[in-house]
Structure 1
């Protein structure tokens, strides 16, 4: 997933998701994690399944907790899980 900047679809630019975009959020989607990490979706779901990428399962929905992901990436976080 990418972040759109600009006013209209004709003048918008697409940029990759960055760490600054997820700070302050509790969770992100697997697609956002894939974009952030520069991984394909199949590789992302494999990492979620084998536990190398932290995840939460809420019913059928899979989410990636941002504080755990930031710790995995070596980023300092004050948030508690």
Structure 2
């Protein structure tokens, strides 16, 4: 039986859905640095672990990633 693996990153739209905000608001939050992101080629990706740390208020873990 195959197990589903969760990728280390997600699309900005997915991060927005998790946060309960729209697509445009999510991209604006990335631009302002409010949502952690990586730019790889032409893609903007959100590191899942860093977003979860931000949501959970894990300030220390978030600071370690900077």
TM-score interval, normalised by the smaller of the two chains = 0.7 to 0.9
- For 2:43, the equivalent position in structure 1 comes to 61
Structure 1 unpaired stretches of 5+: 1-22
Specify which structure has the bigger relative contact order, considering alpha-carbon pairs within 8 angstroms and separated by 6 or more residues.
2
The alpha-carbon deviation at position 31 of structure 1 amounts to 1.1
Structure with larger Rg: 1
C-alpha displacement of 1:24: 4.1
Q: CA deviation at 1:36?
A: 1.1
> Which aligned runs of 4 or more in structure 1 are off by greater than 4 angstroms?
none
Aligned CA-pair RMSD: 2.1
Q: How far apart in 2 are the matches of 1:32 and 1:73? A: 14
Which runs of no fewer than 5 residues in structure 2 stay unpaired?
A: 59-64
TM-score (norm 1): 0.60
> For this pair of structures, how many residues does the alignment match?
55
